């Protein structure tokens, strides 16, 4: 796909992977819709895009709220009359064992990471089908393939995203609307600024830059594959996990449990993990880690 004059909607666009993706698409001449919870942060990103002489639209929207997403789609279609690429990127995690997370904290992760993707897809898919063109890019995580202690609710949301995307992809066969998942390992963004990650080393030596993942998002728009894992070498680990789970799962579980047992779990004083993290303004990155 060539991006000149295409309309690209990016959730979680105020920082991290979302911001980096907006810049990469803008460099290639696409018109950008920046979606996030904080209008001021979106305007800061919009200023960075101004030098590319494209059309932009900043939409303050919490994707976990279906009525706000409906209004978002109305704004986009009123201004541009079409949508070519939807990047469902907004997401966050709270680190700690399930026993220490409140039901509200667990629900908040699913509401943003999974249902936010559902709401955006449901509101923009009819226009794509009407156009008989479009591409939905869901930014997931390698955690969509590994159930990891300490981030079980986050993993669940990404497992759900992967399953939904695969099913939707089958349903759209025969149309010109496509679905691709981008699943990175740990990404150097403010994803890990949440207090629950305070006692963990922020980034591993193998962690990726947001720009690296953004370039994978652009590649995904021209890919026929269901899932693009970043870096590609990690695909071998995913294959091994599914092929030899009785070997791989105990190794991964043991390594992460040691890390988990050495920290004091964070408990949100508000009972609402989403508010502390500003989920749609954070990028969905993966826990090694989306």
Q: Is 154 a catalytic residue?
A: yes
pLDDT at 232 over 80: no
Read off the pLDDT of each residue in 141-157 and give the average, rounded to a whole number: 87
Name the helix (H) or strand (E) containing 257. Answer: helix 245-261
Q: In terms of pLDDT, which residue wins out, 110 or 272?
A: 110
pLDDT at 22 (0 to 100)? 98
Give the number of C-alpha atoms closer than 13 A to the C-alpha of residue 269, restricted to the C-beta side: 1
Q: What is the DSSP string of 51-91?
A: GG---EEEEE--TT-HHHHHHHHHHHHHHHS--SEEEE-B-
Q: In terms of pLDDT, which residue wins out, 188 or 105?
A: 105
Q: Which domains does the chain have, with CATH numbers?
A: 7-281 (3.40.50.720)
Name the helix (H) or strand (E) containing 8. Answer: strand 7-11
pLDDT at 77 (0 to 100)? 98
At 180 the three-state DSSP class reads: strand
Read off the pLDDT of each residue in 8-22 and give the average, rounded to a whole number: 96
pTM, entire model:
0.82
pLDDT at 289 over 70: no
Read off the pLDDT of each residue in 134-150 and give the average, rounded to a whole number: 88
Tokens representing 239 are: 């294959």
| Distance, CA of 67 to CA of 57 (rounded, Å) | 19
Residue 284 pLDDT grade (very low, low, confident, very high; cuts 50, 70, 90)? very low
Which of 114, 119, 154, 266 does the annotation list as catalytic?
A: 154
pLDDT at 269 (0 to 100)? 30
Read off the pLDDT of each residue in 22-44 and give the average, rounded to a whole number: 97
How many Cβ atoms sit within 10 Å of the Cβ of residue 79? Answer: 13
Tokens representing 217 are: 């998002």
Tokens representing 71 are: 């209004």
For the ranges 91-95, 117-121, 211-215, the maximum mean pLDDT occurs at 117-121
């Amino acid at each position: 796909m060539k991006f000149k004059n295409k309309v690209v909607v990016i959730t979680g666009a105020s920082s991290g992977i979302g911001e980096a993706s907006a810049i990469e698409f803008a460099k290639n001449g696409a018109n950008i819709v920046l979606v996030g919870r904080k209008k001021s942060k979106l305007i800061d990103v919009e200023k960075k895009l101004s030098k590319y002489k494209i059309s932009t639209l900043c939409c303050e929207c919490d994707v976990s709220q279906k009525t706000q997403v409906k209004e978002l789609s109305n704004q986009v279609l009123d201004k541009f009359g079409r949508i070519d690429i939807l990047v469902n990127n907004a997401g966050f995690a709270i680190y700690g064992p399930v026993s220490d997370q409140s039901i509200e904290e667990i629900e908040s992760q699913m509401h943003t990471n999974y249902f936010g993707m559902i709401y955006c897809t449901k509101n923009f898919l009819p226009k794509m089908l009407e156009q008989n063109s479009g591409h939905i890019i869901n930014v997931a995580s390698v955690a969509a393939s590994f159930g990891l202690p300490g981030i079980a609710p986050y993993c669940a949301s990404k497992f759900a995203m992967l399953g939904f995307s695969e099913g939707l992809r089958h349903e759209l066969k025969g149309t010109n609307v496509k679905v691709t998942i981008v699943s990175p390992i740990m990404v150097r963004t403010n994803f890990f600024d949440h207090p629950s990650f305070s006692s963990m080393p922020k980034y591993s030596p193998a962690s990726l830059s947001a720009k690296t993942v953004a370039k994978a998002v652009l590649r995904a728009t021209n890919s026929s594959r269901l899932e693009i894992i970043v870096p590609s070498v990690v695909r071998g680990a995913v294959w091994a996990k599914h092929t030899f789970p009785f070997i791989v799962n105990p190794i991964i579980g043991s390594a992460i449990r040691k890390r988990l047992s050495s920290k004091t779990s964070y408990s949100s004083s508000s009972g609402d993990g989403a508010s502390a993290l500003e989920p749609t303004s954070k990028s969905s990155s993966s826990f090694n880690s989306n």
